[in-house]
Structure formats: structure tokens, C-alpha cells
Structure 1
């Protein structure tokens, strides 16, 4: 039985309110320890999960990225990327209606699948690794997946009970995908144990991100959490100059996506008709000379 994400986050958050920022740091340390165990077992055995060549300095000017004014991420009505509800007519429509194809639950599940595909599109493709100089390993991909799940779940909670229910469908789709990813990486024995460890990481990261953007949090808290959850191998070391530039750029990216999603209307969120901010990787040969 899957744990309801909203209840689990509430539980972790209540624990953290005693000392939010200290708790966030402790969770990050625990997360890195758990990653060490999980990643050792789930280290990819095929190129589907590990691609090298993303560890050099980025060929973009990170200092100039993610400063633009936030805007809605909803797709335009005429966008070819939009996914529309199937419009069946006649006898087919009648039978599908009898089969509850048009029920609120069925529509929510379809919408949640589209939302998850938007997340996967952002975290599985090269640009995000190239821009932020990340190596594509199981750990980094999973960390980015959790980060973008948090962005969506946080936005959905703003819609109250209805948004939380939609978020549960999204979480169940995510959970199934993670299980497939772990299995594909070669972990078949003790799969349930690894999934429980990843579940702890998921909730720990979500609470850490929530805590890092509280009004009382320090400006650098989000960068610290991002470093520990995504960039760092041990959760203890501090980033050097090159890494710090990437971490700070990702913190700006995250804050901007939080604000952009807040401006994205409910219909776009429930249908999945939105796109995260594009992360275009500009090679020197394609940059303008003027």
C-alpha cells in the first residue's frame, strides 16, 4: 500500500517545526547516507542510466541565467505540444462513458500521466546535465526527478484538497516509474527494501526544499540543500568555485520555477499542458557573434 505523500510530508514537517533549518540539514545528511546504499545497488549497468561527458565547465554563462521575470508555464492554445482529451462521439463515446472513461478520477489519472511526462522530459534529457555540469548517474537523475516532483506537488497543494488528490495520482505514477528504473538498473533482490530507502529520500528531500524556501530561511539555504541533495557525493563537503556557480544557478532556476508554476493556471496543471523552463545548451559554434 503506497503511503499518501501529503500525510507523510505533514508528518515530517511537524517533526521539523521544532527547528526547521537544523532539521533540514540533518535530513540532507541522512539522505546522502541512504543514497550511498541505494546507489551502490542501483548503479546503472547500461548506458541508459549513465552517460559521461557532463562533468566539464558549462558552455553557457550561468551567471546570466534565470534572472528573467517569472511567467506562466502554460502552453499556448495553439501549441503543438498540447495534449488534449480524446473527443469520441457516437457509440464509442457511450460505451466509454459506461466504463467511466470520462469520470473525474479517470481524467485526473490521464492528466497526472501527462504531468509526469513533462517532468521526465526535463530530467531525462541532456540539457539539464550539460547546463549544470552534472554527470548523468542514477543518483543525479533520481535527485532531479524528486526536485521536479516537489515543484509540481507544491503547486498542486495550492489548489487545496482537489490538488492534493491529484498529487496522489502523480505520486503513484512516479513511484511505479522509480521501481521500473531500479529494476532496470539491475536491482531485483530486496527491491522492496531499496524502494523504502528511496521513499525516505523522497520525503526527506521534499521537507528540506520546503524548509529552504520558508520566509525565515536564509538566502543560501536553498543552495545548500541543492548541493547536498543533487551535487554532493557525501553531503558534507562544500562546493568549489566552479561547482558553486552551478549550484547557485540551479537555486535561481528552482526559485523561478516555483514562481512560474504559481502563475500557471489550474487547468494547465491538471491537464499537464505546461512546460518547464527550457534549458538550452549553447555550444560555442552556435552562439551569435554579435
Structure 2
């Protein structure tokens, strides 16, 4: 794992990036190589909110959060948040079938797009920054994005080859999104170099998270990885007592999401019809489920 963020994103963080990116509309029958140009469906923009010091008090009681028994994150059948596959009929359906709209690849692309929108919804909106007392900088947003990508990719691996292939579509959406965010932050020169550095950080973090959850890992390994990857500037010093409480809460959150996603059925995962645990003020004594 790369421990010093200064090697890859200090410059971007100083510029500051609050991405309001939007995707285009759903398409079908595209190749993996061309997907980045045609990612589907719009993502709600994120309103500006006041950044704050890490030392200030969180707006939620973290000590009471993320202790509940894990449960499925799948959306109820009647949930207004569900996104269903379009059911066209007649000539339109015949035409779309010819255009491979209903091919396995196209369905996977649409499903992966919904999954990525769920990630963006959790990472780009104020509640997660307010709950864990984080400033909304490029570094923290990128770190949270990687954490939630890891959560989804880890769950997809449980579905074998099909899940790994689906994860590839999801990763390409992530990669395209990060490229847009870096460009929006003002990094136009040496963009390829920045993306390579961020790719190394991505894979380094993924490996570190997985290793910290292995049976032979020490009890505090996962908390330490969360601290280094998300809260610490360079990972060289441990958190103080004030910061440790927040870091431990995020570690509980991530561990619980791992368990909840494992309990979420395949259909919900592949269609994107699930939501991450709510982090709003009303979730101070529960996890929003």
C-alpha cells in the first residue's frame, strides 16, 4: 500500500475538487473499451456544504452507531429507489434486441452503472462527511470512493467468474469518473501519470483492506488501515484519542457493510437495487434500516 498521499494527490487536494459530474443516458451493445465514453444515467449533483476541522464534534453519536446485527441492504420490491430493467414491447423491443440491448453484456453494463450510482450517492453527499467529521477534499472523496468500490468488488467476488466480469465494468466506470474528477480539479498536464499513481493507490488500498480482514490479521489492523487510507495525511503517525473514536466508528461501518452486502442477494447486487447504510442525523441510534 502506498502510505504517502503526497506522492500522488497532494497537488490535487490543494486545488480542491467538489465534483458535480453527470453521466449520459443508458446505451446498449457497447464494448468495454468504449464504455468510458458512454456511461449511463444522470447522477444527482451534490450541494456545497461547509468544510470543518477534524477536531470538531461529529453531528451524530458515533459511539451508538454500527453495532446492530447486519442485515440485507436490498431495496424492498415497492421501494421508490428501485431501478427496474426497461420492458419494451413490439417493434421497439425487436429493434433493441437486434441492437443487443438485452444481451448479457448490456444488462451487466446497466447494472454496474446503477451500482456505481449507489456508490456515488454515498460518497458525494454531505452525511458521510458530517458523520465522520471529514473535510470534503479530493483526498477524502477519493479515499471514500475506493473504500466503497472495495466493498462492492469484495461482494462481487463471491459470485465467481460472473461477479468478477461484472466488477470489471464497475471498475471502468470508476476509472472514468476519477479521470473526470482529476481533470475538474485542474490537472490537465500529465493526466496519464496522475491516473497511474491513483491506480496504484487504488490497488494498494484494496489489498490492504483485504489483508486486514484475513483470519490471521490482528484485531486493530483494519482500524489502522482505515486511518492510513482515509484520515491520515501521510500514515506515519497514529491517531490521537479524539480521532481514534471516529476512525473506529468508520471501521465498524465498513465491517458491517461487508457483512450486510454478503447477506444481500445476487439479484439486488447485479441490478444495483440496494443502498448503503444511512448516515443521517436520524441514524444516531440505529443504522437506518
TM-score > 0.5 by shorter chain: yes
Aligned twin of 1:39: 9
Q: Could you tell which deviates more after superposition, 139-148 or 43-52?
A: 43-52
Aligned twin of 1:52: 51
Structure 1 residue 181 corresponds to structure 2 residue 152: no
Q: Gaps spanning 5+ residues in structure 2: where?
A: 20-47, 285-289
Counterpart CA distance in 2 for 1:75 and 1:208 is 30
Alignment of 1:21-32 (within 5 A): 27=1, 31-32=2-3
TM-score (norm 2): 0.85
Q: Is the 8 A contact 1:100 1:106 kept in 2?
A: yes
Aligned twin of 2:121: 121
Aligned alpha-carbon RMSD (Å): 1.7
Q: Deviations over 1:225-272 (max 9, x none)?
A: 000000001101111111100000011101100000000000000000
Structure 1 residues 118 and 283: alpha-carbon distance in aligned structure 2, compared to 1, 3 A threshold: closer
Q: Which has the higher helix share?
A: 1
Q: Is the 8 A contact 2:108 2:169 kept in 1?
A: yes
Q: Gaps spanning 5+ residues in structure 1: where?
A: 1-26, 285-290
Structure 1 residues 254 and 283: alpha-carbon distance in aligned structure 2, compared to 1, 3 A threshold: closer
Q: Deviations over 1:175-215 (max 9, x none)?
A: 00000000000000000000000000000000000000011
Counterpart CA distance in 2 for 1:281 and 1:238 is 28
Structure 1 residues 44 and 99: alpha-carbon distance in aligned structure 2, compared to 1, 3 A threshold: farther
Q: Is the 8 A contact 1:59 1:282 kept in 2?
A: no
Structure 1 residue 67 corresponds to structure 2 residue 67: yes
Q: Is the 8 A contact 1:143 1:230 kept in 2?
A: yes
SS of residue matched to 1:32: coil
Q: Deviations over 1:135-172 (max 9, x none)?
A: 11100000000000000000000000000000000000
Counterpart CA distance in 2 for 1:120 and 1:146 is 11
TM-score (norm 1): 0.84
